Structure 1
Amino acid sequence: MHDWQFLVALAAAMAATGLVSGVLAGLLGVGGGIVIVPVLFYVLPLFQVPEATQMKVAVATSLATIIPTSIISARKHHAKGAMDVGLLRSMAPAMFAGVLLGTALAVVLKGPGLTLVFAVVALLVALNMGFTGVDSRMRDTVPQGAPRHGIAAAIGAVSAMMGIGGGTVGVPVLSLFGVPIRQAVATCSAFGLVISVPATVGFILAGIGAEGRPPFSLGWVNLVGFALIVPSSIIATPWGVRLAHSIPPLLLKRAFALFLAITSSRMLYTLFT
């Protein structure tokens, strides 16, 4: 574990993970967590992290890395005028409450439970994005009042449990309610900040003094992973934003679905074998 060649290789892998997650943060509004969580899930055993705690460390560390990339992505999308600020403001309070609930459930659940949540939700989203057209919708507007608050809370709770920034769930949900795909991506980039900040704080507080954490961890957040992933993510996020405004919407949607399907399949295979 202390061999310099091993550490250099690990640093390079984490930096590459950050580059990919940064591009996806800008491109898809997912905050990169959909990449970071499964990668850390496979990397953490190299640090002798017990199987029971691997997923908690992966989810918590992913949420921490989402904070800076969400700030960059949201600012870029807002500058391009693509974000629905009114929709964001109306959904943020209920989403925050959902994040608190999801974080509480995540710290109570065992590792396999979190893995199952991540894999199943990712697969459902992939099926929706893969088999519906870019203009597919249930209705033309997002519901008002209690239904809107319920949708926001659900997005927050599920995203906190998965260690993602909100776009993985939020983009398809908003699309189903008539929000154009690029506007949905832009708005969900800001969802990432609403979700990642309180969830990260919750995982830090819940993990203080817990057993089975890797070295250099603050609560359940591993600071080594955070330090290596964040800089490369910040560098790559603007690249994804530029791509999001140049790629045909249907191609963007299909690429998102394919990536989620691959990720989910790998997680389920690991869980049941």
Structure 2
Amino acid sequence: MMPPVAELAGLVVALLATGVVAGLLAGVFGIGGGAVIVPVLYQFLLLLGIDHDLVMQIAVGSSLGVIVPTSIRSFLAHRAHGAVDEALLKEWLLPVPLGAIAAGFLIAIISGEALRIVFVVLATLMALRLLFGRQSWRLGADLPGRTVRVVVGFLIGLFSTLMGVGGGVFNNAFMTLYGRSMHQAVATSAGVGVLIAIPGVLGTIWAGWGRAGLPPLSLGFVNLLAVLLLIPVTMAMAPIGARLAHRTSRRRLEIGFGLFLLVVALRFLVSLV
């Protein structure tokens, strides 16, 4: 049974508000906002009575659908500042999408519960990095050799797609731990989001194609209604976030985002009990 009109209206407002936050995060952190979108869509779909075994997959796929235009716009905004490491992006043109494609195969075969466990583990690691990481931490003065970079690119594509995120936090950590500036890491992460989201969307469409129990207006695990509601707002807010990233102190934003991720991880953990 569908929720009352008032409840649906409230959910639409919540989704639009989420788009504002997700778009700002896309610009500020160089991410696609998926860490915000996935848990909200998860709740949205549960309230609509969607099959519990499919909710997480649909949230992840739909989040990736939103990240495609958001990441592109965020990347173009950051590129205008000249901070993008285009050499690294070119090197990752193959390994990052391959990781995203591999994640699509996994999403097709693992349960929604397993996908939530992945989200809990990775979100917790992301939160701890944001809350307790220090910009002074270094593993090296420059990025490691090509083999390591290729493996890292593949893993960023894999884990980010499984979470329905653009890979910004993972890439930011990698680049800054190896001596790159936060501004360059953020700008480059927006480009990484493009490399993840496009094959990730195609993979999740394939993974969910023909599944019974999908909500109306779905292409596989990508729900077009959720995507269409969120895209305009996130695209409008991403350039604003990009401008803030170049003139705003980041520490409070990192702490707030880290705490949010911990709350989300706890919520998913409770749902597994």
Q: TM-score, normalised by structure 2?
A: 0.95
Counterpart of 2:46? 45
Change (3 A) 1:45 1:252: closer
Aligned residues: CA RMSD: 1.5
Which digits, 9 at most, give the CA deviation of each residue in 1:66-114, with x for residues without a partner?
Answer: 0010011000000011211111111231111111111211221100110
Deviation at 1:254, TM superposition (A): 3.2
One-letter identity of the residue aligned with 1:115:
R
One-letter identity of the residue aligned with 2:179:
G
One-letter identity of the residue aligned with 1:101:
A
Counterpart of 1:106? 107
Deviation at 1:8, TM superposition (A): 2.5
Deviation at 1:193, TM superposition (A): 0.6
Give 1:1-273 correspondences, 5 Å limit.
1=2, 3-272=4-273
C-alpha contact 2:104 2:207 (8 A) present in aligned 1: no
One-letter identity of the residue aligned with 1:26:
G
C-alpha contact 1:181 1:249 (8 A) present in aligned 2: no
1:180, 1:115 → 2: CA distance?
Answer: 32
1:32, 1:17 → 2: CA distance?
Answer: 9
C-alpha contact 1:28 1:256 (8 A) present in aligned 2: no
Which digits, 9 at most, give the CA deviation of each residue in 1:118-162, with x for residues without a partner?
Answer: 111111121122212122121121112211100100000001111
C-alpha contact 1:33 1:163 (8 A) present in aligned 2: yes
C-alpha contact 1:98 1:156 (8 A) present in aligned 2: yes
SS of corresponding position for 2:113: helix
2:89, 2:23 → 1: CA distance?
Answer: 22
Which digits, 9 at most, give the CA deviation of each residue in 1:150-184, with x for residues without a partner?
Answer: 01000000011111011132211222122211211
Change (3 A) 1:227 1:144: same
SS of corresponding position for 2:94: helix
More displaced 10-residue stretch of structure 1: 60-69 or 121-130: 121-130
2:8, 2:252 → 1: CA distance?
Answer: 38
5+ residue gaps, structure 1, are none
C-alpha contact 1:95 1:154 (8 A) present in aligned 2: yes
Which digits, 9 at most, give the CA deviation of each residue in 1:174-211, with x for residues without a partner?
Answer: 22122211211110111111000011011112212101
C-alpha contact 2:58 2:223 (8 A) present in aligned 1: yes
User: May I ask how many residue pairs the two structures share in their alignment?
Assistant: 272
SS of corresponding position for 2:92: helix
1:263, 1:136 → 2: CA distance?
Answer: 26
Q: TM-score, normalised by structure 1?
A: 0.95
2:221, 2:129 → 1: CA distance?
Answer: 32
2:12, 2:254 → 1: CA distance?
Answer: 31
2:190, 2:217 → 1: CA distance?
Answer: 29
SS of corresponding position for 1:49: coil
5+ residue gaps, structure 2, are none
SS of corresponding position for 1:31: coil
Identity %: 39
